[in-house]
Amino acid sequence: MKPDSSKRQSGIALIGDVPWGTHFCQFYRTKEDLLEMLVPYFAAGLANNEYCMWVTSQPVSVEDATEAMRQAVPGFDAYVRKGQIDILRYDQWYTLGGRFDEKRVLDGWVSRLDGALKQGFAGLRLTGNTFWIEDKDWQAFKDYEAAVDSVLGNYRMLAMCTYSLEKCGVREIMDVVENHEFALALSQGQWQVVERKRWLA
């Protein structure tokens, strides 16, 4: 299904409205950095009838994410009860069976989207925290991100991937930026948008 051309509220003031198919990332240092971006991102999705999936890893647990959403979104538990948001650990999504399988994960997003559309939701809004990735998984995950970036524009999805700066050297940062439309990063205490074309020029 081709997405419509309408824009969605990102919930993040710095980037405003974005079209379906947007694939971007955030570089973070702390738990607070993550929650500062992800909570309003998902609050906007819930308010706009989108199905939301938050796949967590350190430093934010499922319980942390749930409590942060409950504090920020009136009636959050009602959204949970009607199945509009799922908050999962990374090993319940990325590494089922003890290994990362890029095709299974990508197919899984599409399957979740199909189910959401059948339930009457407008589309799928997702995030995945990559703190769990080990060196042996990096190339496979880089290939997965490239695949996501190449196909996401065909779907009613928004994807925000989050990367810890503790685990990213220069090579990893370059790999990440290459496979996302833009990145959010802190510079001198202020969030900035780094566009792929500008970074790689």
Whether 25 is in a domain gets the answer: yes
* Amino acid occupying residue 114: D
Q: Which of 29, 40, 30 is nearest to 160 (CA)?
A: 40
pLDDT level of residue 4 (50, 70, 90 thresholds): low
CATH code, 118: 3.40.50.300
| pLDDT score of 2 | 46
CB 7 within 8 A of CB 18: yes
Whether 176 is in a domain gets the answer: yes
Whether 14 is in a domain gets the answer: no
Q: Taking the CA atoms of the chain, what radius of gyration do you get in angstroms?
A: 16
Whether 194 is in a domain gets the answer: yes
The domain containing residue 63 runs over which residues? Answer: 19-199
CB 4 within 8 A of CB 162: no
Distance CA(63)–CA(142), nearest Å, equals 28
Count of domains in the chain?
1
Whether 30 is in a domain gets the answer: yes
CB atoms within 10 A of CB 4: 11
Whether 111 is in a domain gets the answer: yes
pLDDT level of residue 40 (50, 70, 90 thresholds): very high
Report pLDDT digits (tens) over 53-73. Answer: 999 999 999 999 999 999 999
Whether 153 is in a domain gets the answer: yes
Whether 76 is in a domain gets the answer: yes
